[in-house]
Amino acid sequence: MNAPTLRSARLILRPWRDEDREPFAALNADPRVMEYFPALLTREESDGAVQRIRDHFDREGFGLWALEIPGVAPFIGFTGLVRPGFMPGVEIGWRLAHAYWGTGYATEAARVAAAFGFDTLGLDEILAMVVPANLRSQRVMAKLGMVRDRAADFDHPRIPDGPARRHWLFRLRTSVTGLTSMPVDAT
């Protein structure tokens, strides 16, 4: 997998390892973590997601990095950038194990990923999409400086009818973020 390693003050955003599959499967089977998704993932579905993440890195040179807290936890979830496939642009996303919520890790990692997107990839804009009820993710988006584009809200084409189908679209542009000055250790 062709993936850089990024660092922040407390986190390492790194390529995926085979040993990440087990804790990732546990995270995807946790009803608290998956509250705003259509369903929990089976182990097979979770392993398939890991393969799609690795394939995205191979194809694009960026993706959803595994998150590690050095000396504390080898895997707490993911944060990164991905091409959604059903719409143009690059999306930022995160998913952390419940034990690491409320720590600022999602925001810290997302800032590093966004800085990589703007500084290294030369993106003009980063998107995020969220189920309207997911206030936790909306708080992270607000801390990043993302702004909702009400005219671009949509029904997610890969999600069946139900409460998880409607999505709000948020945008982050380099001209308003100040994220490009953040140091990123890409190794």
- Residue 113: pLDDT band (50, 70, 90) is very high
Global confidence as pTM: 0.92
C-alpha of 116 from chain center: 13
Identify whether 100 is part of a domain: yes
Give the number of other CB atoms < 10 A from CB of residue 80.
28
Identify whether 187 is part of a domain: no
- Residue 20: pLDDT band (50, 70, 90) is very high
What pLDDT, on the 0 to 100 scale, is given for residue 177? 57
Residue 18 CA to residue 30 CA, distance in Å, equals 20
Identify whether 1 is part of a domain: no
Identify whether 138 is part of a domain: yes
CA 114, 24, 76: angle at the middle one, nearest 5?
55
- Residue 153's domain comprises 6-181
Terminal Cα distance for the chain, rounded: 14
Looking at residue 90, its amino acid is: V
- Residue 27: pLDDT band (50, 70, 90) is very high
Domain count, the chain: 1
Residue 104 CA to residue 143 CA, distance in Å, equals 10
Q: The CATH number of the domain where 132 resides is what?
A: 3.40.630.30
Identify whether 186 is part of a domain: no
Task: Give 55-64 pLDDT, tens digit per residue.
Answer: 999 999 999 9
Identify whether 33 is part of a domain: yes
Question: DSSP per residue over the chain, as a string?
Answer: -----EE-SS-EEE---GGGHHHHHHHHT-TTTTTTSSSPPPHHHHHHHHHHHHHHHHHHS--EEEEEETTTEEEEEEEEEE--SSSSS-EEEEEE-GGGTTSSHHHHHHHHHHHHHHHTS--SEEEEEE-TT-HHHHHHHHHHT-EE-GGG-EE-TTS-SSTTTEEEEEEEEHHHH-GGGS-----
- Residue 3: pLDDT band (50, 70, 90) is confident
Identify whether 21 is part of a domain: yes
